[in-house]
Amino acid sequence: MLNKFGPSGHGEATVEYLDGDFRVLSPGSYVRCAVTGEHIPLDELKYWSVDRQEAYATPEAVLERHYPNAIKTG
């Protein structure tokens, strides 16, 4: 699932998000969650949007981004 080339690096990777996979364009060890800003190690990346070209740390972050009023607290 992880398409890496060259050294993995230690900073933020540049990634192209594809249907069911992703391609590392610039090596790094993580990407940032578009909602929380949390670092997501590439080997733990499970959630992303092909249309928005962004990653998410959790299923809740996906819902928050796509359906901001769906998750109600309290």
How many domains does one find in the chain?
Answer: 1
pLDDT in tens, 45-62: 999 999 999 999 999 999
Where would I find the beta strands (DSSP E) of 1-74?
A: 2-3, 14-18, 21-26, 30-32, 39-41, 47-49, 54-56
Q: Is residue 36 domain-resident?
A: yes
Q: Is residue 74 domain-resident?
A: no
Q: Is residue 24 domain-resident?
A: yes
Distance CA(49)–CA(62), nearest Å, equals 8
CA angle 37, 53, 9 (to 5 degrees): 60
Distance CA(71)–CA(11), nearest Å, equals 32
**Residue-averaged pLDDT of the chain:** 88
Q: Is residue 71 domain-resident?
A: no
pTM above threshold 0.85: no
